[in-house]
Amino acid sequence: MALTEVQEFMVMHAHDSPSELTLKYRKKLPFDIGAVALQIGLRKKALKKIPAFINSKTVLLPKLYEQCTQEEVAKYKATLIKGTSLLDATAGLGVDSYYIGQLFKQRTCIEANAEHAQLLKHNYEALNFEAEIIHTSLEEFLANDQRVFDTIYIDPDRRPEFNRKVFEIDECTPNVLELKDQLLSRCQSCWIKLSPMVDIHQVVTSFFSNISQLICIAYGNEMKEILIQLKPGNQVIRYEAVNITNEGITHFQSNKNDVKPLLSLPGKFFFEPNVAMIKSKLCMEYSHEKQLKVLYPNGYFFTTDAYKPDLQGRLFEIIEHGQYKKELLNAIIKKHQIKKANIACRNFFWKPEEVKQQFKLHDGGEWYLFCYADAEKKPQTIWAKKIVDGAL
C-alpha cells in the first residue's frame, strides 16, 4: 500500500529535530506540520520504549504514550496473564492488549474516550492485530454487557482530569475499588496495573482477601509498575520482585514470613537490593535466604563477609567505614584523593546533596559513599567500590 504524503514526510524526516521541522515548514505544506512534528518526536521515543508497536501507519498521542507499558515489561506480563478470553477494560493506546493478547483467542478492548477508541482501531488495523473494540466506559460495559471473561486487565487512568497526575487508587479512573465485586463476578482472574508510587500497605488493605499476587516490576532497576492479581474468594498473597534488564529477568517471591536478619557492623562487602525488592518490602526475606546481615533495623543496607556475586542488586567491596565525623571523612578523602563520589543516604540525618556540599564532592566517579544511622542512631558511613560483572 502506498504511503500517504504525511507518512512519506515522517519517514523522510524520522531522524530530524521536530522543532526545526516546525520552523522550516510552517505554512509551506498541505498538512499541519506541528501535529506531524509531534508524531516524529513521539515516534523517536517510542522506538526505544515500544519498537514492535511502531510502523509507518501507527499514530501516537502524548498522554496515551506516557502511560503505556514498556515493551519488555508488557512481554513479561504476557507470560503471567493467560486464558482464552481477554477483556482490556482501559485499552488506551493498546500496548498491553497487543502483547498480552497474542495467546488469547478472544480479545475485547473497551475505551471510554471516543478519539482514543478510534485511534486504537486504526493502530490495530495497521498492526494486523484483531480485537473487538468498543467505545464505552467500564461502568457502562458492566451494566449493559453480561459476558464473562477468563481474564480482565485494567490500567486505570492516572491523569483523569486537567492533566493532573495522581497515583492513589481511588483517584484513578475507573475507580477499581468501587467496581471490584462486579469485576470479580465477570472473570476468573482480574489483573490491575498500579502506579509505582502507590503504597504497598494501602494496596493490600484496599483489596484485602482477594489479592492472589502482588508483583513489583522494575526495568533497568527503575520501578515501572505494581501489578496485582485479584481472584474471587479468600486468597493468600504471593509477593514478587521482578527486575528486567538487557541481561535477563531476576525474580524473588515470598508469602512474607516476617523474618528479621541479624544486625551487624560492616563486613567485607556491602549490598543494596534492587528497587523492585525494596518496593515489594521483600528485603528481609531475601537477606535471610542469602545469609546477609542488616546494618540498621528494618533497613535496606546489608553486609556480608562472603563474596556473593549473584545477588539481586548492587554489590560493593567496602574500602573504608566509620562514624560520620568531619575529621574522619576528610582524612579518608585526603588518603584516597577522592574528588567525586556517588552518595546514597537511608535512615540518615542529611540528604546526599547536603553531604556532597559539606565535603565539597562532585557527583560520579568510582567511589560510593553510603550514609545511614545505626541501631543506636549514630551516623555511620561506608566508602565502597562497585563490583562489576562478578569480578573483584
Domain CATH for 224: 3.40.50.150
In a domain, 213, yes or no: yes
In a domain, 60, yes or no: no
Same domain, 133 and 234: yes
Q: What pLDDT was estimated at residue 55?
A: 86
Same domain, 142 and 230: yes
Give the whole-angstrom CA distance, residue 109 versus residue 71.
19
Pairing state of beta strands 211-219 and 222-230?
antiparallel
Same domain, 336 and 209: no
Cβ atoms 163, 63 nearer than 8 A: yes
In a domain, 59, yes or no: no
Same domain, 332 and 373: yes
In a domain, 193, yes or no: yes
Question: Cis bond leading into 174, ω under 30°?
Answer: yes
Q: What pLDDT was estimated at residue 165?
A: 63
Same domain, 203 and 310: no
Domain boundary among 231, 254, 277: 254
User: Model pTM?
Assistant: 0.90
Grid coordinates of 288: 535471610
Domain that residue 3 falls in: 1-49
Pairing state of beta strands 238-245 and 269-273?
unpaired
State the CB neighbour count (10 A cutoff) for residue 306: 10
Q: Measured at the alpha carbon of residue 186, what is the angle toward residues 185 and 190, in degrees to the nearest 5?
A: 95
Give the whole-angstrom CA distance, residue 153 versus residue 96.
9
Same domain, 202 and 307: no
Same domain, 132 and 6: no
Q: What pLDDT was estimated at residue 153?
A: 98
Same domain, 129 and 12: no
Q: What pLDDT was estimated at residue 190?
A: 98
Q: How many domains does the chain have?
A: 3
Domain boundary among 254, 283, 306: 254
In a domain, 391, yes or no: no
Same domain, 9 and 130: no
Same domain, 282 and 239: no
Grid coordinates of 251: 525474580
In a domain, 163, yes or no: yes
Same domain, 231 and 298: no
Sites in the chain below the pLDDT cut of 50: 1-2, 162
Same domain, 240 and 204: yes
Give the whole-angstrom CA distance, residue 60 versus residue 54.
9
